[in-house]
Amino acid sequence: MKLKEIYDFLDKLSPFELQEKWDNSGLNLGSMDAEVSEIVVALDIDENLIESAKEGSLFVVHHPIIFGSLKRLDLSKYPANLLAKMIKKDLSLIAMHTNFDKTHLNRYVFEKILGLSIDKESEFICTSQKRFRKDELLTLIKNKLGLTQLRVVNPKDTINSIALTTGAGASLLDFIDVDCFLTGDIKYHDAMKALSEDKMMIDIGHFESEQFFVDVMMDLLNSMPISVIIAQSKNPFEFFL
């Protein structure tokens, strides 16, 4: 199957033009004329996934392998070291990042994983007016996202409204008017700001909140006349209790 056929299919599902200006969704590596032997769906690309992939495979991932300006290819450094291995095996990569957050991923995690109903939705933010007790909400998040502990800012005993942005969404705090905001990669100064504005935040992890990308994408690609498999990316962080 031609890579362009797959690219066009993905573009209709979640138009690449929706991506943020700083993003690099779309074809990161490969040729539109390439023949694809298999599609591999993963959150990220890493060396283990490259080594196990069949030659001529196409990776459809969430995070682009190329961000910003790539001025040189030092083959001992990331991402050039991975790109070199991919080129040797005739592997291609399409990233579905902020465009897919807007059209699919945030909604999927909010509704299908956490079981919340959307009362309001903007580009990156899903909101529900469901009422929770603090311990009830924390238990739900840990169980559904596979977290053993949670970082919480300004905990409230009762929560009457919740918003979620997968990945790193703390920069959206100014656009959110709820009791509790769920997102990942919360920094110290984000926490101080939330505390000063009497907003509760729960860090749900970057990897943990986006790991469901593979499930959503697998369902969408299953209708294509080509083999599609899931490859589990590894969380780069390890936790010690």
Residue 240 within a domain: no
Give the confidence band of 45 by pLDDT, cuts at 50, 70, 90.
very high
| CATH number reported for the structural domain that contains residue 117 in this entry | 3.40.1390.30
Query: Please, are residues 223 and 210 in contact by the beta-carbon 8 Å criterion?
Result: no
Between the alpha carbon of residue 180 and those of residues 3, 23, 158, 199, 212, the distances in Å are: 42, 27, 10, 6, 22
pLDDT at 57 over 80: yes
- Show the tokens assigned to 210: 């986006």
State mean pLDDT over 59-73.
92
pLDDT at 241 over 80: no
Q: Are residues 117 and 193 in the same domain?
A: yes
Question: What is the pTM assigned to this prediction?
Answer: 0.95
Q: What range does the domain containing 45 cover?
A: 3-99+211-230
Q: Are residues 16 and 95 in the same domain?
A: yes
> Rounded mean pLDDT of the chain?
96
DSSP 146-177: T-S--EEES--SEE--EEEEEEE-GGGGGG--
Q: Are residues 51 and 94 in the same domain?
A: yes
